[in-house]
Structure 1
Amino acid sequence: MMECYILAGGKSKRFGEDKTLFSIGGVPCIQRMVHEAKKVCNKIFVVSKNTEKYSFLKDVELVKDIFERQLPLIGLYTALNHTKEDRIVVLSADMPLIKSELISYLWNRYCGKIILYEVGGKTYTFFGVYPKKTLKALEEYLKAGGVKALDFVRAVGYTPVKEDDIAHLGISPKAFINMNTKEDARIILEMYEGSKAEDFGYDL
């Protein structure tokens, strides 16, 4: 069973409004992500401190963060604690350009430990496949006061997937954009309105 957990517990401080609900072509960012993930995943979960605001999403299970602490790793902990599968797909809720092919590629490359994309010099800690067995190490890391996701995955070890590994897929590196700021949103909207608009699901 291929389960996908979309982590949507952030406050969007830099963005100035809830970026997961930001409209792209009349469709909320997170809805576009759900749509793409559904192409390859059997079940979709959205993890958040406020699940009610995502009640409009169809065929999605909403999971409330276990702890109130405002930290992306809390969402990951909640997801790993919730699943009964041996591994899960984990996505940050602010990546509306993701493609299902990228999700499938990670899943198929999985070899027993965390696997993440490294694109443009950045490690995408919340675009990856995480094994259930990571839960214990994450719990210990959080109890010790750890807060940084990158420090955690470096400590436990992970397999990187780089740009050269996925060149054959023909997908632009812009598919990895995290929509953290309004400038990021501007780039995404320009892509939607431009020649690549067909990639963004007019059928939504």
Structure 2
Amino acid sequence: MNTIILAGGKSSRMGENKALMKIGGKRIIDRLIEEFIPVSEKVIIIANEELPQIDDSVLILEDSETFKGQGPLAGMLTGFTAAGEGLCFVVACDMPLASNKLARQLEQTIIDKKVDAVIPVADGQIHPLFAVYNTRILKDVIETLKDDKRAVKSLLDRIEVEYIEIGNSSVLRNMNTKEDYLEAKNIIERRELH
């Protein structure tokens, strides 16, 4: 399985690049790389601005010119194209508590169920930016973007998806505001003290 980290967002509510924000002295992007390198054939980062000093074993790509700046779906298209055939775990760069344990669980489910995607559900909310996809859906991603639909939800309507309810929703917590960032920072720094 390859891991695709989406780090191309505008971060308008945060006011700075979330991927480069630090928790416990480490940038969030580096935390995600460390978490997913052990369970990935390749780690691919999709970023539309420069990410300095990234691990050499990681591939950094920009969105294709055709769909540049068109949100996570465009980033997924770039990542799936680079990954080639097989499974890809997609994670947004604003999920500092993301766990490779859950990613492996999703991977096992997609293998067992033979579906196009496995997406976790927590507290009634789906998390398509922490999910495993089969790259065979590449055509569907392109068609969705060509139809001028940018929401990942529009893609999900076209493909076969298995939704799995998970108990621990904290691993899916994302950061949109400074308050979210401070909460995640407290959780991680407390955890790392023990």
Question: Which deviations, in whole Å up to 9, do the C-alpha atoms of 1:45-89 show, x marking residues without a partner?
Answer: 101122x32443342111221132331111011111222222211
CA-CA distance at 1:198 after TM superposition: 5.4
The aligned residue for residue 103 of structure 1 is 103
What CA distance in whole angstroms lies between the structure 2 residues aligned with 1:14 and 1:36? 26
Opposite residue 35 of structure 1, the aligned amino acid is E
After superposition, where does 1:50-89 map in structure 2 within 5 Å?
50=49, 52-67=50-65, 68-89=68-89
After superposition, where does 1:173-184 map in structure 2 within 5 Å?
173-184=169-180
Name the Cα RMSD after superposition: 1.6
SS at match of 1:155: coil
The sequence identity of aligned pairs, in percent, is 29
Question: Which deviations, in whole Å up to 9, do the C-alpha atoms of 1:23-64 show, x marking residues without a partner?
Answer: 0011001110111001211221101122x3244334211122
What CA distance in whole angstroms lies between the structure 2 residues aligned with 1:64 and 1:36? 22
Are 2:145 and 1:142 aligned? yes
The aligned residue for residue 16 of structure 1 is 15
SS at match of 2:74: helix
CA-CA distance at 1:156 after TM superposition: 2.1
What CA distance in whole angstroms lies between the structure 1 residues aligned with 2:188 and 2:80? 33
What CA distance in whole angstroms lies between the structure 1 residues aligned with 2:129 and 2:22? 22
CA-CA distance at 1:122 after TM superposition: 1.3
Conserved 8 A contact 2:115-2:160: no
The aligned residue for residue 115 of structure 1 is 118
The aligned residue for residue 202 of structure 1 is none
Give the TM-score, by structure 1 length.
0.86
Q: Which runs of no fewer than 5 residues in structure 1 stay unpaired?
A: 200-204
The aligned residue for residue 186 of structure 2 is 190
Q: Cα 1:120–1:54, aligned 2, differ >3 Å: closer, same or farther?
A: farther
SS at match of 1:185: helix
Q: Cα 1:43–1:123, aligned 2, differ >3 Å: closer, same or farther?
A: same
The aligned residue for residue 128 of structure 2 is 125
Q: Which runs of no fewer than 5 residues in structure 2 stay unpaired?
A: none
Question: Which deviations, in whole Å up to 9, do the C-alpha atoms of 1:145-175 show, x marking residues without a partner?
Answer: 1111112213323111112xxx5xxxx4211
CA-CA distance at 1:14 after TM superposition: 0.8
Give the TM-score, by structure 2 length.
0.90
Conserved 8 A contact 1:10-1:70: no
Opposite residue 140 of structure 2, the aligned amino acid is A
After superposition, where does 1:24-63 map in structure 2 within 5 Å?
24-50=23-49, 52-63=50-61
